[in-house]
Amino acid sequence: QKEVEQDPGPLSVPEGAIVSLNCTYSNSAFQYFMWYRQYSRKGPELLMYTYSSGNKEDGRFTAQVDKSSKYISLFIRDSQPSDSATYLCAMSPNTGGFKTIFGAGTRLFVKA
Amino acid sequence: NAGVTQTPKFQVLKTGQSMTLQCAQDMNHNSMYWYRQDPGMGLRLIYYSASEGTTDKGEVPNGYNVSRLNKREFSLRLESAAPSQTSVYFCASTMEEWVHEQYFGPGTRLTVT
């Protein structure tokens, strides 16, 4: 069993829809939770970063962490065709970035 | 700022050939990382350098070597390429080793035939 599980999709939604992307994990030591966006043939770019449990909002994006369920989510409101990309969840314990574990990514297509 | 740059963008090697992937960052970061990305799998850490002068193995170091040339540059070498090393390679950096937000380069697509 992988430490981090992420549905690969693809997930196809119409423009303007609310998108929900999720990851589950098994290691209770994870404290830092990140979401990266990766456009086709590009490097990942950091989208959201949260520490421990709770919600964080940045514009149309909201990240949620539920440590009791070992479940994290990324919500995208008013989705746009430019949001079409692969979204990688990532998480790490307190010991440092070199311990970061990445999910395999969910491919998202937003249709105009 | 160019951020993290990688060369080359694409490379095709024959089995047994060697090559070096180059990475440089201009963000004055202390820590640098090399990952590989394969279909259906998350990014996997090959090697990292917490600071200039140090390197450590990651999850999948076999068949690779690294050199932290200076604070800006971190290279990855394949001494004898194998088809199993066909992948997309990403370099990343962070301000310090305990910082979790990583900045990635554009990647090198390597095919070994």
pLDDT in tens, B38-58: 998 889 999 999 999 999 999
Sequence letter at residue B104? F
Q: Give residue A110's region: left, alpha or beta (phi > 0; psi -120 to 50).
A: beta
Please tell me the predicted confidence (pLDDT) of residue A18: 98
Distance in angstroms (rounded) separating the CA atoms of residues A89 and A63: 10
Enter the tokens of residue A99. Answer: 């311990």
Tokens of B38: 């394969």
Mean pLDDT rounded to a whole number for chain B: 96
Q: Do B105 and A49 touch (CB under 8 A)?
A: no
Residue A104: is its pLDDT beyond 90? yes
Contact B43 A45 (CB under 8 A): no
A14-A16-A18 Cα angle (round to 5): 90
CB of A58 less than 8 A from some CB of B: no
Average pLDDT for A48-60: 92
- Categorize the per-residue pLDDT at A94 as very low, low, confident or very high, splitting at 50, 70 and 90: confident
Identify the weakest region by mean pLDDT among A26-35, A42-51, A93-102, B81-90: A93-102
What local confidence, expressed as pLDDT, does residue A95 receive?
Answer: 77
Answer for the pair B107, B90: CB distance below 8 angstroms, yes or no: yes
